[in-house]
């Protein structure tokens, strides 16, 4: 594997990993899932999931990738012990990435559409603004066109490679996203709904928490941290030399969680100031933010910048999703990166059309919701569980410690990865399939 492309710098790796982690999951999904599950009580559960499961599994994934220097399928084969087919975990990961990107690209397409509308500026009543979203959903050709645009863009960036494509793009876009988000927070705190929003986000009301909330918290934390399907294994495989994996994982998870929380802090004041429903569901950011933009001075410019940056956050995440499949094809079948990209890009594009046509459904559930459910509720936790088991039980302690270190914190993380994370993931999974 001497020809393997590697990150140029540690910071480049962190920013690329943050680029993968920070995406629609933080800005689009997190706020509406919080809204649906009653606010702050859910955030507590979410934080517990990040600490007890997210960070340990992040360490594990980066470790597996760095050590093996391979795509997820090859990486699990690398740690093969006994007769169990470890590589199946890698195959499931590749498939999961394909499924997620197929609908992720459609949602990124919505962002593109809103970006275009922002150039003209949003105006009209709240009802009129929320109708934009309904209309978009009802227009399949427009969704397919944007989905195509997104896939072509992602393929074009990734064609340039790890260092010149992924790393370079992340290094510019991530800091910009942070700055803009902070500016929006500063604006949102001046709104009349800020008090209600703060209350909603920080005073727990556990009566709103259902058993399903735990599942959703774990699934969402996995989703926003890009875990459970080998994305971080793939990014870890482009690392070499001396890197503090534990520290990197904590940094990545902290930035990711902070950005999710800040997105909530931008969105909920607007929701409460305008008497909108916090549990509006997937349309939340598309219906609420444009209302803010239509009212605020200079809103026009801010909305262009905001949707552009959400778009970039989504693109850096989409890149990591397709990179898993591409690195798999390149490593395993020894084809060129370009060929692998065209094949995988086409497969994902075709699958995405199912989600782009919102009227197509399975027993009343749209493909987008169905794929999201399959991937984030079943495949990611199951993938995480298998990854933790392989790490905990098939890799020797000496081997782990040489890479992860033996400080008290590292030891605690190794303990969590071996005992706590798998048990929680298993419980959540069994609950999801209705076993108790
Ligand atoms: N983490 C991204 C987000 O929050 C989405 C994502 C990128 C992802 N790569 C992933 C989710 C791998 C799960 C697995 O939007």
Question: Of 89, 121, 109, 264, which Cα lies nearest the Cα of 193?
Answer: 264
**Which DSSP state fits 364?**
T
Dihedral sign, Cα of residue 226, residue 230, residue 233, residue 235: negative
- Cα–Cα distances (Å) from 394 to 63, 66, 250, 397, in that order, read 14, 17, 24, 10
- pLDDT value of residue 1: 44
Q: Which element (helix H / strand E) includes 362?
A: strand 361-362
Ligand 1 centre from 114 Cα, in Å? Answer: 21
Please indicate whether residue 255, judged by its CB atom, sits closer than 6 Å to ligand 1: no
Evaluate whether 416 touches 52 at the Cβ level (below 8 Å). Answer: yes
Evaluate whether 232 touches 147 at the Cβ level (below 8 Å). Answer: no
- Please state the φ and ψ torsions of residue 361, each to the nearest 5 degrees: -155, 170
- pLDDT value of residue 253: 97
Please indicate whether residue 376, judged by its CB atom, sits closer than 6 Å to ligand 1: no
CATH of 10-349, one of 3.30.1360.100, 3.10.105.10, 1.10.1300.10, 1.10.4160.10: 1.10.4160.10
- Cα–Cα distances (Å) from 189 to 22, 32, 192, in that order, read 22, 19, 8
Ligand 1 centre from 73 Cα, in Å? Answer: 19
The span from the CA of 96 to the CA of 380, in Å, is 8
- Cα–Cα distances (Å) from 87 to 223, 230, 333, 395, 425, in that order, read 22, 12, 15, 15, 20
- Please state the φ and ψ torsions of residue 163, each to the nearest 5 degrees: -75, -45
- pLDDT value of residue 280: 65
- Side-chain-facing half-sphere of 407: CA atoms under 13 Å: 8
Closest residue to atom 14 of ligand 1, CA basis:
226
Instruction: Tell how far CA 377 is from the center of its chain.
Output: 13
- Please state the φ and ψ torsions of residue 217, each to the nearest 5 degrees: -65, -45
Instruction: Tell how far CA 303 is from the center of its chain.
Output: 22
Per-residue pLDDT of the chain (436 residues; tens, 9 = 90+): 447 889 999 999 999 999 999 999 898 888 888 888 888 899 999 999 999 999 999 999 999 999 999 999 999 999 988 888 899 999 999 999 999 999 999 999 999 999 999 999 888 888 888 899 999 989 999 999 999 999 999 999 999 988 888 999 999 889 888 888 888 888 888 888 888 888 888 888 888 888 778 878 888 898 899 999 999 999 999 998 888 999 999 999 999 999 999 988 888 887 777 777 777 666 777 887 788 788 877 788 878 888 987 898 999 999 999 999 999 999 999 999 999 999 999 999 999 999 999 888 888 889 999 998 899 788 998 999 999 999 988 888 888 888 888 888 999 999 999 999 999 999 888 877 777 6
Closest residue to atom 10 of ligand 1, CA basis:
226
Closest residue to atom 13 of ligand 1, CA basis:
226
**Single pTM value for the model:** 0.91
Evaluate whether 221 touches 49 at the Cβ level (below 8 Å). Answer: yes
Ligand 1 centre from 226 Cα, in Å? Answer: 4
- pLDDT value of residue 385: 94
Ligand 1 centre from 58 Cα, in Å? Answer: 13
Dihedral sign, Cα of residue 363, residue 365, residue 370, residue 376: negative
């Amino acid at each position: 594997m001497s020809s393997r492309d590697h990150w140029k710098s540690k910071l480049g790796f962190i920013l690329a990993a943050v680029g993968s982690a920070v995406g629609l999951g933080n800005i689009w999904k997190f706020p509406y899932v919080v809204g649906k599950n009653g606010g702050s009580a859910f955030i507590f559960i979410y934080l517990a999931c990040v600490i007890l499961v997210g960070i340990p599994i992040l360490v594990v994934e980066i470790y597996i990738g760095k050590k093996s220097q391979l795509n997820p399928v090859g990486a699990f084969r690398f740690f093969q012990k006994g007769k169990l087919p470890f590589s199946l975990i890698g195959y499931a990961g590749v498939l999961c990435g394909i499924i997620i990107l197929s609908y992720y690209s459609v949602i990124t397409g919505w962002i593109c559409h809103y970006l275009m509308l922002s150039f003209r500026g949003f105006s009209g009543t709240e009802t009129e603004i929320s109708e934009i979203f309904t209309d978009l959903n009802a227009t399949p050709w427009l969704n397919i066109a944007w989905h195509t645009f997104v896939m072509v863009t992602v393929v074009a960036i990734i064609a340039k490679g790890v260092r010149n494509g992924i790393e370079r793009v992340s290094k510019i876009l991530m800091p910009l996203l942070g700055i803009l988000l902070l500016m929006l927070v500063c604006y949102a705190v001046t709104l009349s709904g800020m008090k209600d929003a703060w209350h909603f986000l920080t005073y727990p009301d556990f009566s709103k928490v259902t058993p399903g909330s735990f599942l959703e918290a774990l699934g969402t934390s996995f989703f926003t941290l890009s875990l459970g399907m080998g994305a971080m294994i793939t990014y870890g495989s482009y690392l070499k030399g001396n890197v503090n994996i534990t520290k990197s994982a904590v940094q990545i998870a902290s930035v990711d969680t902070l950005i999710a929380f800040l997105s909530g802090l931008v969105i909920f004041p607007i929701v409460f100031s305008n008497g909108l429903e916090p549990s509006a569901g997937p349309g939340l950011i598309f219906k609420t933010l444009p209302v803010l933009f239509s009212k605020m001075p200079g809103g026009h410019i801010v909305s262009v910048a905001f949707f552009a940056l959400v778009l970039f956050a989504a693109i850096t995440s989409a890149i990591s999703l397709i990179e898993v499949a591409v690195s798999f094809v390149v490593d395993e079948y020894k084809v060129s990166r370009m060929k692998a990209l065209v094949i995988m890009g086409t497969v994902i594009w075709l699958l995405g059309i199912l989600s782009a046509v919102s009227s197509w459904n399975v027993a009343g559930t749209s493909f987008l919701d169905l794929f999201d459910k399959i991937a984030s509720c079943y495949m990611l936790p199951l993938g995480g569980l298998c990854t933790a088991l392989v790490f905990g039980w098939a890799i020797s302690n000496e081997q782990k410690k040489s890479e992860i270190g033996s400080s008290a914190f590292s030891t605690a993380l190794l303990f969590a990865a071996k005992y706590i994370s798998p048990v929680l993931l298993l419980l959540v999974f069994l609950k999801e399939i209705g076993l108790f």
